[in-house]
Structure 1
Amino acid sequence: VDADGSGDFVPISERPEFSVIGGDALRLVVVAPSDAVAGEEFRISVKAEDRWGNPANMYRGNVRLRGSGVALRADEIEFDEASGGVVWIDGCRITEAGEHRVVARDDDADLGGVSNPIIATETESQFKLYWGDPHGGQVVDPYKIGDFFAYARDVAGIHFAGFQRNDPAITTGAYEVQQEAERDNYKPGRFVPIPGYEWSATTDRGGHHNVYFRRFDQDLRRSGHGAHLDPWDVDTDLPHVREMHTAFRYSDVVVTPHVGGVAADLQYHEPQIEPALEITSTHGQFEWFLRESIERNYKMGFIGGSDCYTGRPGDDQPGHQLRRYQKGGLTAVYASELTLDGVLAGMKARRVYATSGVRIVAMVSADGHMMGSEYSTSSSPEISVKIVGAGPLEKVELFRGLEMLHCEEMSPGRSANRVRVTWEGASRETSYSGVVWDGTVTVSDGSIRNVEKIRFDSPRSEVDEASDSSVSWSYWGCGYTSGLLLDIDGMDDTGIEVALTSDVIASSQYGDHGRDGARRITFASADQVRVPTTLGSLADGPRRVDLGQLDRAVTVEMAPAPGPDRVEFSVVDDSPRPGINPYWVRVTQSDMEKAWTSPVFVDFVAGV
């Protein structure tokens, strides 16, 4: 072992052990149930989190808790060595129906956090809202799968998770270990491991799909055998997506296509077993995938996951790597019970929605039929929407198919001196479609007083330089909207010039699970954007440059003031199309976190 990096190695008699620990605490993350019955007990967690999303297990401190209408077992908790960066508080109760949050604060360390909203009712609802990461990713060592599920349950505080190893890499022995971990960690009412695997064909054979079983100990049917696998069961392989669909069509299996390492080809679809598709993960946000499913007239819902390799299902962060760009997504499911059958029945019925990783509460119905439902009517449908955000809401958009029917603008107005610069979009409609944005804002006849980042999820994304006259940055992302907020002291004629260039990922070649060696991602120069303006001009309206490729755009505007965190409205569609009308909602918060609800499918029967 070379202990000091000097190049001098000395033999040791015992096997070395290394402890991987979190960094300094940067924030407090409070997780609570999204719904509760007044008077009944529940538990919440407080996590001290470092900049990478890890539990800050070296953090020591006392955290005060408070919540209007929430009776807490303790109003102060201590983080000590045994805490590991996470403290659970049992015996909490809601004292009255309504919307509630729990606030955590350590004034000495200047750390704080606010929980997701808790919607409390007087009586039990038919369906409860549960959160999970069905595509929680994978770890190489199968003996760490138990730790994978423990993290999901005890650190991320989610209700269900799926371990989804790429099938050509799964040995028979590893699959047996996985199945044992799934059984051992199944705790109905508390936590559900979803058995399954990632069917991992190349795109020309259908692309990657997640396979979920509604029973434990089911057979593994791979898309193909890796060279390291014993070929004894090669005759059970399902090399093409058509064969996979045929094999599972009349079973209780649930399958979801996604855009991950290899994008699924949506020309192949089996409605019997494919109720939803994954549109957000650490790989990025893929609204083009959502749109394609609607364009093909598929009746599919929308889910999110992490698809990570870090063993942190439920709250994964991208890490300092070339092919992960944002924190993991989440899936919300309305289920009658927290069991394996309950979770997958909710997914099968499309009572699901996707978020970018925050716990936004979304309720959408049409004439009383909740999201995922399908029904017929000869009357104009009334779509009812209720959203309670994890933070201030900016807009809530109601779509019929790909047509926006209504937009609820939530901001009460715009700032007089705060400028927002945002950029968004992807490089191509496939996997590893990130964009690197390098930009500069220059101010003349004025000064920049403060700069705040919006969704700089990747640690590769940084503000490089900042002065009172300019700011420059380098940013890595894929699909989602990110940006900067700049507080500017100036007058109407204060000049502002925004300049951005982008490099898009042009190749995504990697070795076969590391066995063939790495093949580098390559980049190609793409956009060059220059937006000259003034504070006075921006007061008249935003400046937006659409770049024409996969929603890539740059917007310069006076920053919208944060809006309320809830909205409730109804819209009657007086002109539904004859046939199937999918009504769905996209939620955007002020911090650019998002949610996408599964559609309600309304079969409108037109008069003769």
Structure 2
Amino acid sequence: MKTLSPYGPVRRDLVGDNHPSATPGEDPAIYGTATLQPVTPVEARSFHTLKLVYVVGSLGLDDTGAIRIAWRLVSDSGRPQTVDPAVPNFVSATSSGDGRLQLKYDVNGGQRPWNETLTVYQRGGYLRQGDEITVIFGDTTGGSPGMLAQTFAEGGREFRIMADVQATGNFVELPDTQLAVPIVAGPPQSWHGVLPSLRRPGETFHFGIKAEDKWGNPTAQAKARLTLHPSVPVEGLPEELHYEPEDRAMTLEGLRVMEPGLLRIGIAIDGRTVAEAGPLVVREGEVAGYWGDLHGQTGETVGTNTVESYLDFARNKAFLDVTSHQANDFQITPDFWAHLNQLTAEYDEPGRFTVFPGYEWSGNTAVGGDHNVFFRHEGRPIRRCSHALLEDRSGIETDAHTLSDLFHAFRQTDEDVVVYAHVGGRYANIHYDHDPLFETAVEIHSAWGTFEWILTDGFDLGRRVGIVCNSDGHKGRPGASYPGASVFGAYGGLTCFLTEENDRDWIFKAQRRRHHYGTTGCRMHMDVRVALPQLSTLYERNPDAEPYTATYRTGSAMMGDIVKTDASEVELAVEICAHAGIERVEIRNGVRVLETIRPYTEADLGDRIRVLWSGAEYRGRGRNTNWGGRAQFSGTTISRFETINRWNPDMLLEQRGSDTVVWKSVTTGNFMGFDAWLSRRGGHLMVNTNHGNLSLDLDAVGLQDVVREAGGLDRKIRVFRLPDQELKRELTFRRTVPLKPTGDNPIWICVTTEDGFQAWSSPVYLFRQAG
């Protein structure tokens, strides 16, 4: 497989957007020209200065006319300001002609995907052909340090230049002008090693190594002599290697562990461990675990970077086994759909890297909401929710305006397709419609946040779906999708598919049987099985999805299985091996938590106090909850402090003095917080936030959460005590689980690790029928 260059802007002929239907003329000379300097690479989150020069065309630029510079919606660059020349992001503009210039910045002043705009108006005079407007982004002459670059690497941050030369309000893009500045990673901040989580003895696997900058970009600035320390022998693994990859990451292929065991690989520089990869459980069995992020998009629609760099990142930077590209359908041009299908066929590599063609059906919540569509094969027709941003009207007759229309079309054509419901801007409306033949899973975590409700709301509706987690990333980093400093509030999720082989047929089988689990981005091993007291009926597909109702008699079931049984109770067996300590495991039957299991007891608790805040405003697009808070300890002091899920380094979460922690942060259904190791027992804690306060004596804080509900959607503050030392990373247990006499028993678990990651198993659906 060839290596794809991450550099270069997105091909404009593949971008789904539309232009004014009327223009002043056909001759490009009448609109003018523009240049941008310098276009040399800029380091992520650094200050820089750019000069844009617009030269007036043959029509001139009339009084009250303007030029407009636009950038993509997905950006966390510094926002241009024209008020204070001494502070960051100051923008100035001068003209060589008559009159004066007036600047107006609008974060949402343009049309998707070019939402962010700066408009430079001509006032008090007109400009002639050849006159120039010079715009300085990050003008430092008044003391400003410059423009603050975005947090994520991009092959070319584009400046789209438009002109309204006749002062009509109709802005026309300058022809043949594509100005872009590459954004590259900064110096290394952290090292990472990535392994799969489940393989069989003698089975090959790959081991990925990379260094990331402060913002999670794999960086080319890292060079080191690495020594590798495996916990069990690994065939093909060198003892040391010189890390100096050409393209920001390194993959060691064809490794094997010949005997059953648990593999973790320490990575050291000069005798100091800088990272650890694993765990990888090696044991005999029918299935292995293949990790995927199947949900993200790029600059051809609303995201950034190219689809080529997206596929390269998934395979060679995030070290995924499975991926797909999911662009908003109303923005997918026929040319891009053909291009995407060509690429998925080219880069699908059975046994090593599975790539599905697909798209995001992006209907409004009122008619079904966002759903991911995955085809097993290329060349399938795209049935869009609409042609909202497409000038090319071909295929409009096949639009599926509602989710019901989409499912009906799939039934009519016997489409070989899998569908997920997900929560993004337009959240999926699971109450609107559901077809169990196609819709196999719901996505409960992405960079948008955590949404258990999209699963649990379905229990009362009789839905039998699996759990997936993906990134829904817009920055071109599938499988390692950091939120940056914009609207996203969480690190992107991952899904582990439990199946025999890594190819399209086997992954499709795992999807349709819900044999998978999701995490908030970690790669833990999870095995959840149910032992039945007598032989019961297992359905290969959802029995509601007739006519596909093949059945088997079995005495056991794994996660995702649907089983009809006469048993009143079953034995649940759980095995977890995690990258970090296991903080808790919840056993659930539907929405009810049957038991919370911790690998420690009340007697193990120390002087570590954990404070967390979580939740969202509501289910829709504006779900972000902004938190401002302070935690103050009295009668004791903080001897050690660590943050949890602080994904945005610019966001305030820090210790102040010896007794106080302050924060200004965002949650989107997920949680964040901190651990404070205290100097002694006793004392008092006062938590003050904009969503409520909590006051408690620390002697009363123990194993169980102390909770302050804070309104919104599952919004709350929690405080509990932990052992001082690191927690156990492996946990195995069995429990007898009683079943309800009738209806579904969705038995599933939720794991929370010490460092703030979570994982959920797809439910085992056990149902009993009256009589």
Assess, with a 3 A threshold, how the Cα gap between structure 1 residues 570 and 435 changes in structure 2: closer, same or farther.
same
Query: Which residue of the partner structure matches residue 103 of structure 1?
Result: 266
Query: Which residue of the partner structure matches residue 443 of structure 2?
Result: 278
Moved over 6 A (4+): 14-17
Query: Which residue of the partner structure matches residue 232 of structure 2?
Result: 69
Whole-angstrom CA distance in 1 between matches of 2:740 and 2:477: 43
Identity value in percent: 28
Whole-angstrom CA distance in 1 between matches of 2:268 and 2:610: 29
Count of aligned positions: 574
1:140 counterpart letter in structure 2: E
**CA contact 2:294–2:470 (8 Å) conserved in 1:** yes
Q: What is the TM-score when the length of structure 2 is the normalising length? A: 0.71
Q: 1:212 aligns with which of 374, 386, 400?
A: 374
Query: Which residue of the partner structure matches residue 589 of structure 1?
Result: 753
**CA contact 1:543–1:557 (8 Å) conserved in 2:** yes
Aligned-pair CA distance for 1:558: 2.5
Query: Which residue of the partner structure matches residue 504 of structure 1?
Result: none
Whole-angstrom CA distance in 1 between matches of 2:401 and 2:653: 46
Aligned-pair CA distance for 1:332: 1.0
Q: 1:431 aligns with which of 598, 601, 621?
A: 621
Query: Which residue of the partner structure matches residue 333 of structure 1?
Result: 497
Query: Which residue of the partner structure matches residue 398 of structure 1?
Result: 587
Assess, with a 3 A threshold, how the Cα gap between structure 1 residues 7 and 127 changes in structure 2: closer, same or farther.
closer
Query: Which residue of the partner structure matches residue 50 of structure 1?
Result: 213
CA shift digits 1:348-383 (9 cap, x unpaired): 111111110111211112222111111222123222
Q: 2:597 aligns with which of 398, 408, 427?
A: 408
Q: 2:709 aligns with which of 528, 543, 546?
A: 546
1:17-416 matches, within 5 Å, as: 18-71=181-234, 73-80=237-244, 82-107=245-270, 112-121=274-283, 123=284, 125-140=285-300, 144-249=306-411, 250-267=414-431, 268-322=433-487, 324-367=488-531, 368-379=556-567, 380-413=569-602, 415-416=605-606
Assess, with a 3 A threshold, how the Cα gap between structure 1 residues 478 and 8 changes in structure 2: closer, same or farther.
closer
1:236 counterpart letter in structure 2: T
1:418 counterpart letter in structure 2: R
Structure 2 unaligned regions, length at least 5 = 1-35, 39-47, 56-176, 532-555
Whole-angstrom CA distance in 1 between matches of 2:419 and 2:50: 52
CA shift digits 1:490-530 (9 cap, x unpaired): 452x33322111xxxxxxxxxxxxxxxxxxxxxxxxx222x
**CA contact 1:208–1:258 (8 Å) conserved in 2:** yes
**CA contact 2:298–2:305 (8 Å) conserved in 1:** no
Whole-angstrom CA distance in 2 between matches of 1:592 and 1:315: 16
Aligned-pair CA distance for 1:387: 1.6
Aligned-pair CA distance for 1:45: 1.0
Assess, with a 3 A threshold, how the Cα gap between structure 1 residues 545 and 8 changes in structure 2: closer, same or farther.
closer
CA shift digits 1:182-228 (9 cap, x unpaired): 11101101111111100011111111111110111111111000243
Query: Does the residue aligned with 1:177 lie in a helix, a strand or coil?
Result: helix
Whole-angstrom CA distance in 1 between matches of 2:427 and 2:641: 37
**CA contact 2:331–2:389 (8 Å) conserved in 1:** no
* Range that drifts further, 291-300 or 561-570: 561-570
2:324 counterpart letter in structure 1: G
Aligned-pair CA distance for 1:401: 1.3
Whole-angstrom CA distance in 2 between matches of 1:266 and 1:439: 35
Whole-angstrom CA distance in 2 between matches of 1:577 and 1:114: 46
Please identify the structure whose Cα radius of gyration is greater.
Answer: 2
1:510-549 matches, within 5 Å, as: 527-529=691-693, 531-538=694-701, 542-549=705-712
Assess, with a 3 A threshold, how the Cα gap between structure 1 residues 496 and 26 changes in structure 2: closer, same or farther.
same
* Range that drifts further, 580-589 or 20-29: 20-29
Whole-angstrom CA distance in 2 between matches of 1:174 and 1:131: 27
Whole-angstrom CA distance in 1 between matches of 2:52 and 2:383: 49
Whole-angstrom CA distance in 2 between matches of 1:189 and 1:37: 14
* Range that drifts further, 473-482 or 437-446: 437-446
CA shift digits 1:411-456 (9 cap, x unpaired): 3455433221111111112334121111112233432233210011
Whole-angstrom CA distance in 1 between matches of 2:405 and 2:178: 47
Query: Does the residue aligned with 1:184 lie in a helix, a strand or coil?
Result: helix
Whole-angstrom CA distance in 2 between matches of 1:406 and 1:447: 34
Query: Does the residue aligned with 2:320 lie in a helix, a strand or coil?
Result: coil
Query: Which residue of the partner structure matches residue 448 of structure 1?
Result: 638
Query: Which residue of the partner structure matches residue 518 of structure 1?
Result: none
**CA contact 1:56–1:85 (8 Å) conserved in 2:** yes
Aligned-pair CA distance for 1:16: 7.5
Aligned-pair CA distance for 1:346: 0.8
Aligned-pair CA distance for 1:546: 2.1
Whole-angstrom CA distance in 2 between matches of 1:384 and 1:465: 41
Whole-angstrom CA distance in 1 between matches of 2:704 and 2:204: 49
Assess, with a 3 A threshold, how the Cα gap between structure 1 residues 541 and 43 changes in structure 2: closer, same or farther.
closer
Query: Does the residue aligned with 2:458 lie in a helix, a strand or coil?
Result: helix
* 1:472 pairs with 2:635: no
Whole-angstrom CA distance in 2 between matches of 1:5 and 1:469: 41
Assess, with a 3 A threshold, how the Cα gap between structure 1 residues 551 and 5 changes in structure 2: closer, same or farther.
closer
Structure 1 unaligned regions, length at least 5 = 502-526
Query: Does the residue aligned with 2:250 lie in a helix, a strand or coil?
Result: strand
Whole-angstrom CA distance in 1 between matches of 2:681 and 2:286: 56
Q: What is the TM-score when the length of structure 1 is the normalising length? A: 0.89
Whole-angstrom CA distance in 2 between matches of 1:161 and 1:378: 39
**CA contact 1:73–1:91 (8 Å) conserved in 2:** no
Whole-angstrom CA distance in 1 between matches of 2:350 and 2:326: 21
Whole-angstrom CA distance in 2 between matches of 1:304 and 1:75: 35
Structure with the bigger RCO (C-alpha within 8 Å, sep 6+) is 1
Query: Does the residue aligned with 1:231 lie in a helix, a strand or coil?
Result: coil
CA shift digits 1:47-100 (9 cap, x unpaired): 1112221102111112221112132521222222x4433122234332431222
* Range that drifts further, 218-227 or 439-448: 439-448
Aligned-pair CA distance for 1:486: 1.4
**CA contact 2:606–2:723 (8 Å) conserved in 1:** no
Assess, with a 3 A threshold, how the Cα gap between structure 1 residues 83 and 444 changes in structure 2: closer, same or farther.
same
CA shift digits 1:313-370 (9 cap, x unpaired): 1111111102x11111111111222111211121011111111011121111222211
Query: Which residue of the partner structure matches residue 557 of structure 1?
Result: 720
